[in-house]
Structure 1
């Protein structure tokens, strides 16, 4: 699996909410999803082939306020397509690291960084146990999609905030978002793929993880 697979199963096109960026996106999202499901448990779902609402909002937030990341090291946790990492690099973050457990996700992040003329390095694996002390800023889009994931990712994010990192989360109101541990920064109406989200637009917020929420 490589960037060749990513390119052959997607089309390079602007992101609806971020027209200044392009992304390798699935032309037939359901067909690609069904193909990966048919491949069995060894093949994760193709989260890397879509611009999810949380990532779009987080990327928009960073591009609109580049001082959040400019000149700072950034980790994009569970990067998916690499969209947020690409936005951070475009906003002047250095270095930018895209992390995921799916090798195809990292291949997509590399292809999308190249398509946008920015540099993003990749780290494969589960960082939630050991942490990641190298980043000044942690960005996480759409990571609270299940109870299990929320239970693992929140301690990671709070540890990062506790050591002084800026920790931002993009989320379209997923069921397991722990807003009691966060403060609201911005809200957007983000266009999404109706075949995947059942709606054409999702109200999506950017939150900051804090140790002592107000």
Structure 2
């Protein structure tokens, strides 16, 4: 049912800023958003159907700098479509885990991994209070969009950085991005759906988060 819904409401297409990767993406973002809300088929909303700016920036950065992840265990936190997990796997990371609390997200991530001929492990769990010390790299795209989310995510990422993991965050200037403990690694102008972001592109940065 999950996979049928995803394939029935999205179309496989290259990601605008990462054309090496194909994703199942919504043709009409707002229409799908309204459809899932009305049917109650996906909670939270269908973040998995879009290539968000933070994820596109992280995916681009990982593909351009495969040495960051190659041969390392990677966690793509709040994976959404699985874009960043797929990019890490393409860049040579192993194993790659895509984590989300939305089963539709993980079904989309699995479909997108298969479409790109890579292996990704799906983890449907709230892991923010867990140690998760098995990952050498943690990637988080566009996770500082709400006060509540930021309050839980930031300590998790700081703990990971504190134990020596490489923590990279892709962010297009969301309101709750922390104002300290970040090192800028890259900046891009990312194409985004105007219907979702109100602009055709978002200036998006890749940050390395450190424990301070």
TM-score by length of 1: 0.97
Aligned length in residues: 212
User: Hey, what's the Cα distance between the residues in 2 that align with 1:85 and 1:99?
Assistant: 9
Structure 1 counterpart of 2:114: 114
Q: Deviations over 1:37-92 (max 9, x none)?
A: 21349732000000000000000000000000000000000000000000000000
How far off its partner does 1:2 sit? 2.0
SS at 1:87 equivalent = helix
Structure 2 counterpart of 1:183: 183
Structure 2 counterpart of 1:123: 123
Query: Structure 1 runs of 4+ off > 4 angstroms?
Result: none
Any gaps of 5 or more consecutive residues in structure 2? none
SS at 1:167 equivalent = strand
The CA RMSD over aligned residues, in Å, is: 1.1
Contact 2:36 2:42 in 1 (8 A): no
SS at 1:180 equivalent = coil
Structure 2 counterpart of 1:166: 166
Contact 1:3 1:110 in 2 (8 A): no
Structure 1 counterpart of 2:73: 73
2:55 pairs with 1:43: no
How far off its partner does 1:22 sit? 0.4
